[in-house]
Amino acid sequence: AADTPLSTLQALLAAPQTALRERPLANLVNDPKLNAPECLTPLS
């Protein structure tokens, strides 16, 4: 999301992929069916 703090983005990029998979929302973040701020897929 555009309002995500840069420090949060940097932390996500620096985290091991295993840590990302452990996050409860990790499997939902890029789900286009979600109508939520967590969805990274642009709606066309």
Q: What is the 3-state secondary structure (H, E, C) of 1-44?
A: CCCCCHHHHHHHHHCCHHHHHHCCCCCCCCCCCCCCCCCCCCCC
Q: Which domain holds residue 29?
A: 1-44
- pLDDT beyond 80 at 6: yes
Give 20-41 pLDDT, tens digit per residue: 555 555 555 555 665 655 555 5
Which band of pLDDT confidence, cut at 50, 70 and 90, is reported for residue 11? Answer: confident
Domain count, the chain: 1
The amino acid occupying position 2 is A
pTM of the predicted model over 0.85: no
User: Averaged over 5-23, what is the pLDDT?
Assistant: 69
**What pLDDT does residue 22 have?**
56
Per-range mean pLDDT, top range of 8-12, 25-29, 40-44:
8-12
